[in-house]
Amino acid sequence: MNPVLFIGPDHKNHRGGIGAVLDVYSKHVTPFRFIATYVTKSFFKQSITYISAVFKLIWFCITDWQIKILHIHHASRGSFIRKSLLVLIGKIFGKKVILHIHGGGFHNYYKRARLMKPVIRLTLESADAVICLSEMWKKYYSSTFKLKRLVIINNVIEKPSVSAEHIQNGSLNLLFLGHVTEKKGVFDLLKVLASGREQFRHKVKVTIGGIGEVERLEKTISENQFNGDVSFAGWVNGNKKAQLLNDCDVYVLPSYFEGLPISILEAMSYGKPVISTNVGGIPEIVKPGFNGWLFQPGDHQALNSIIREAMDNKELLKQYGNNSLSISKNYTPESVFQSLNELYKQVLNR
């Protein structure tokens, strides 16, 4: 009998990395006991979901004594504050608590937290274990907090739906999937394409999928008259996302803050090279000269040079893609759940 209760954002209709991770968990953990604390709907429904989560957790703690561990997934800011109360409830009922930190901006959040710093510190240090996503984050948490147990558990990705071998056409097809915001760097990408119009016109095509500043994105596409070179696919998942990943040549994420992006891992599992920034845990999975390119966030000149190099080296893209596929095997359910089960045993026997 699985002794774990999972807590986090809704995974059935997820629009983010944590939901994607939990969705994979739900398919491989039996039984999958789960409490949703957040939904991507109205503020009213978000509030009702969280209040309901508090009472559900209390009810689980009272009625289901088989539950020994609360595995709580969270990011920064509101996500962390919401989970802090749930940690307290779990501790009151004598449950083991594992905090699984996904937020790419957690260091900045804690630095600016001011009066909330003691709450953040108490919450993290009261956990029986803290999970982070990379060596970079492990160094940060170990040097900033006095944690009982700190481990790296890789993000998990589902087996890809790879179609027939991708055939590269005359253009370089880039794909971006995620939140359409300034901090994800998508507007930096468009600025680079606009400033290099003559060298990129009809030679580089970009598909953008996601939610966020959609009106600004569509206005930017229109004002720059990309004429089919840039297209917006809206929010994509399932078969549509698989199709876009199969069809692209390179995955691009010019983000300013990240933990360890699920979108990059998914692209790598489809055998795609990656263009991204050297933030968070990304340098541990995207290695320049091996499976992709890295640059400083906001460095338009560097991004321009990388795109030009990718345009002119189709054989290199194939080599990088094969290397990406090799790295991605460390993030399969078989590998990740073996590590998770070992952690559960250690926490229960502590």
State the Cα–Cα distance between residues 90 and 68, nearest whole angstrom. Answer: 10
pLDDT at residue 1 tops 80? no
Average pLDDT over residues 308-326: 95
Query: Which residue's entry shows tokens 């006095």?
Result: 146
Q: Of 250, 207, 212, 248, which is closest to residue 226 (Cα–Cα)?
A: 207
- Compute the CA torsion angle 315, 316, 322, 324 (nearest 10 deg): -150
- Which of residues 304 and 40 earns the better pLDDT score? 304
pLDDT at 103: 83
Domains of the chain by residue range: 4-156+332-348, 172-330
Q: Is 298 exposed, middle or buried (0-12, 13-18, 19+ CB in 10 A)?
A: middle
State the Cα–Cα distance between residues 3 and 74, nearest whole angstrom. Answer: 20
Cβ partners under 8 Å of residue 135, min gap 6: 152, 281, 284
Q: Of 2, 37, 3, which is closest to residue 19 (Cα–Cα)?
A: 37
Same fold, 4-156+332-348 and 172-330: yes
Q: Of 96, 127, 102, 105, which is closest to residue 14 (Cα–Cα)?
A: 102
State the Cα–Cα distance between residues 100 and 301, nearest whole angstrom. Answer: 36
Task: Classify 107 as helix, strand or coil.
Answer: helix
Domain 4-156+332-348 annotated CATH 3.20.20.140: no
The answer to whether 121 and 141 have CB atoms below 8 angstroms apart is no
State the Cα–Cα distance between residues 343 and 68, nearest whole angstrom. Answer: 13
What is the pairing mode between strands 69-74 and 96-101?
parallel
Cβ partners under 8 Å of residue 96, min gap 6: 68, 69, 70, 90, 128, 129, 347, 348, 350
List the single range of 140-149, 196-205, 290-299 with lowest mean pLDDT: 196-205
pLDDT at residue 72 tops 90? yes
pLDDT band at 25; cut points 50, 70, 90? very high
Mean pLDDT rounded to a whole number for the chain:
93
Share of the chain above pLDDT 90, in %: 84
DSSP string covering 190-202: HHHHHHTHHHHTT
Provide the 8-state DSSP code for 218: H
Angle at alpha carbon of residue 77, lines to 75 and 81, rounded to 5°: 90
CATH for the stretch 172-330: 3.40.50.2000
Share of the chain above pLDDT 70, in %: 98
pLDDT at residue 15 tops 80? no
Query: Which residue's entry shows tokens 């915001």?
Result: 181
Query: How long, in residues, is the chain?
Result: 350
pTM check: above 0.75: yes
